Structure 1
Amino acid sequence: MKRFAALAILALLTACTSISEVTPAGDGHYTVTTQVRGGMTPWGEVKASSLKRADQYCKEQGKQMHQVDMQTHGVRGWTPQEAELTFACLAG
């Protein structure tokens, strides 16, 4: 029984993270979304994943990432957490 309880707690704390492809949003802006299912991932980590992917995308073009907007959705531990970043790539 203790083993089952330990496995249940571990499953609750484990999260599955996915990061979308960068997609054009018009006016020179792009979006990328990070989604975390399950677990108790801090919002800072969810947002950082989107920011990191956007920064990588812009660096591949020899530009710098500029955050335009960040929207978050979901409730940590209850529903999937989502951070949707809108950004632009600007010349250095």
Structure 2
Amino acid sequence: MIAVLCGCTTISEVTPAGDGNYTVTTQVRGGMTPWGEVKASSLKRADDYCRQQGKQMHQVDMQTHGVRGWTPQEAELTFSCVAS
């Protein structure tokens, strides 16, 4: 039996969530990806988005869904971009 140790990662585009907030979602299918890595992918996409505007990313909320190794892991980040 061969265990799959890596997964397929998908990171969504940044979308407006209202009230000056945005969301981005990282989804990992398969494998045993640590939750920290799943969350870090969403945080990096959000940080890059805000830096392009000359601002800093401020985390508002982070929701996780799924069970590592059994179901897709998903980290949904809600954030805002604030002046530096």
TM-score, normalising length from structure 2?
A: 0.98
1:36-81 per-position Cα deviation (integer Å, ceiling 9, x unaligned): 0000000000000000000000000000000000000000000000
Long gaps (5+) in structure 2:
none
Distance in 1 (CA, whole Å) between partners of 2:63 and 2:46 is 15
1:68 match: 60
Q: Distance in 2 between matches of 1:15 and 1:80?
A: 9
Tell me, what secondary structure is at the counterpart of 1:13? coil
- Count of aligned residue pairs for this structure pair: 84
Whether 1:81 and 2:82 are equivalent positions in the alignment is no
Which one-letter code corresponds to 1:72 in the other structure? Answer: T
- Report the aligned-residue RMSD: 0.6
Counterpart of 1:34 in structure 2 is 26
Give the distance between the partners of 1:14 and 1:80, measured in 2 at CA. 12
- What is the rounded CA distance, in whole Å, between the counterparts of 1:56 and 1:38 in structure 2? 26
Aligned-residue sequence identity (percent) comes to 83
Equivalent of 1:19 in 4, 11, 16: 11
Higher helix content, 1 or 2: 1
2:46 is matched with 54
TM-score under structure 1 normalisation?
Answer: 0.89
Deviating runs (4+, > 3 A) in structure 1?
Answer: none
Q: Deviations over 1:15-52 (max 9, x none)?
A: 00000000000000000000000000000000000000
In the TM superposition, what is the alpha-carbon distance from 1:14 to its structure 2 partner? 2.0
